[in-house]
Amino acid sequence: MDARTAAVLRERWDALPPGVKTREQLLGRHAVGCEGTHGVFPKCNLTCSPCYHSRDANKVRVDGSHTVEQVHAQMAFLAERRGPRAHAQLIGGEVTLLSPDDHAAALLAMRSHGREPMSMTHGDFDYTYLRDLVHDQAGRVRLPRVSFAAHFDSLMRGRRGISRPRSEAELTAYRAAFVAMFHRLRQETGVRAYLAHNMTVTPANLSQVAGVVSSVARQGYQMMSFQPAAFVGDERRWGEDYAEVGIDDVWAEIERGFGQAISWQALQFGDRRCNRTAFGFLVGERWHALVEADRPAETAARDAFLDHFGGVNFGGSPPLPLIVKVARLVVRHPGDVAVAARWLRSMTVRAGGMGVLSRAAMRRQIRPLTIVVHRFMDAQDVAPAWDLLTRGIVATDPELRATQERLQACTYTMGHPVTGELVPACAQHSVLDRGENEQLRRLLPLTVLPTSS
Ligand code: SF4
């Protein structure tokens, strides 16, 4: 493993609160966590309730040069502080308000700093935008692979063709059309895509999560992520008692949608109160976990993997160097071959046996699918906890302390190159966004007055 990666993993592990230092923890053992941009294009052209953006966000002009310059600065800082590789979200307002060239430049800037980017969008754009995004001015492919997280839910207003959806079901065709654009892109250009589906959950649409799960699982997304709404951002867009929706409530709906239990306990990303992630795959319509917590053969493989292969950059390495890297590690830990074989056998039996899997593979009915619930925190809880943390004070109040622990085990970090701070996304949205957008509003006003000659 890269020495810098090993050092930042160790640092991350050491800084975690004791409660999350478990065998299943991925932070500090395999990854330092995900990253995101901030203040790079705050504006959005849809209106959602709730909206995590501060009230000034839509008063900031989208400006490609500002975006690319800021993305470079933030990613360079994150690479310096958090190591050479990470997944990072190109996030702000609506990413497709950037021109295709500026959007592509921002993605390439992220890659140049070792970040694997994912563009966060409401998905309301045309195929021509996507085609122009992946090609340069000379018509050559500049992005051989892209990654998008598309946010679709009935709490959003202003989508073309369905300005005020009355139910989640009314969005099914729009969710499918989004995936279809990327299938077409693959056919016409060879560009590959990783697609995630995002949905905000409030009491208003909680009971429809099962229906969304069942349709989205068939549509070709590789990740489904649900965010119970928190009281963050523009308070004019808060209309309900969002606190009523907990991770367990959403998970119960997800399981209802699949018609089966979805196990997540074998692997944990950060704090259980923030994140629940189930890594697995579909065989036809049945979902199977990569690792089951109650199968010793499988948890032994997880432990061996995290102990010996944790931090290896599998996704971002070219095949040959990766094979060499893995071969070297296997030579150092030859017992892992048998451990891996036992895991494979256990998982194969669980998933129906070799016959079922080979038939499904021949029909191309095996697909990876990760299921996530991410429970952001309310601004009123985050603000005091973050204030104490930045002053090095451990809260004595149990609820404040719990919020601090979640912030310390945060999986989603934003970088501030000017102040040198690494900030959890909850603190960014709850505390820093407002001031940042006020400044940006002055720097990038919507109306630019013509200069007198
Ligand atoms: S952004 Fe907030 S909810 Fe998400 S992992 Fe970080 S602290 Fe937890």
β-sheet bridge partners, residue 275: 374
Name the 3-class secondary structure at 352: coil
> What pLDDT, on a 0 to 100 scale, did the predictor assign at position 34?
96
Is the pLDDT at 144 greater than 80? The verdict is yes
Query: Is there a contact between 359 and 212 (Cβ–Cβ < 8 Å)?
Result: no
Nearest residue (CA) to ligand 1, atom 3: 376
425 CA closest ligand 1 atom index: 1
Domain 3-284+367-443 has CATH 3.40.50: no
Nearest residue (CA) to ligand 1, atom 8: 274
Nearest residue (CA) to ligand 1, atom 2: 426
CB-count burial class (<10 Å; 0-12, 13-18, 19+) for 11? middle
Instruction: Please give the Cα distance from 103 to 106 (Å, whole number).
Output: 5
Which of 130, 124, 214 has its CA nearest to residue 172? 214
Structural element, H or E, at residue 139: none
First to last CA, the chain: 59
CB-count burial class (<10 Å; 0-12, 13-18, 19+) for 414? buried
> What pLDDT, on a 0 to 100 scale, did the predictor assign at position 230?
86
Mind listing the pLDDT tens digit for each residue in 255-302? Answer: 999 999 999 999 999 999 999 999 999 999 999 999 999 999 999 999
β-sheet bridge partners, residue 277: 372
How many angstroms does the Cα of residue 270 sit away from the middle of ligand 1? 8
Instruction: Give the residue carrying structure tokens 């979640």.
Output: 406
> What pLDDT, on a 0 to 100 scale, did the predictor assign at position 450?
65
Cβ neighbour number for residue 124 with a 10 Å cutoff? 20
How many angstroms does the Cα of residue 399 sit away from the middle of ligand 1? 15
Domain ranges of the chain: 3-284+367-443, 296-362
Amino acid found at 279 = F
Is the pLDDT at 36 greater than 70? The verdict is yes
Q: Is the pTM of this model over 0.85?
A: yes
How many angstroms does the Cα of residue 339 sit away from the middle of ligand 1? 34
| 190-206 mean pLDDT | 95
Query: Is there a contact between 144 and 191 (Cβ–Cβ < 8 Å)?
Result: yes
Instruction: Please give the Cα distance from 143 to 135 (Å, whole number).
Output: 7
Instruction: Give the residue carrying structure tokens 């009123």.
Output: 380
Question: Any idea what DSSP says for residue 57?
Answer: G
Is the pLDDT at 102 greater than 70? The verdict is yes
Q: Please, what sign has the CA dihedral across residues 160, 162, 167, 169?
A: negative
* Number of helical H runs and strand E runs in the chain: 15, 15
Nearest residue (CA) to ligand 1, atom 6: 410
| Beta strand 280-283 pairing with 366-368 | antiparallel
How many angstroms does the Cα of residue 268 sit away from the middle of ligand 1? 13
How many angstroms does the Cα of residue 276 sit away from the middle of ligand 1? 11
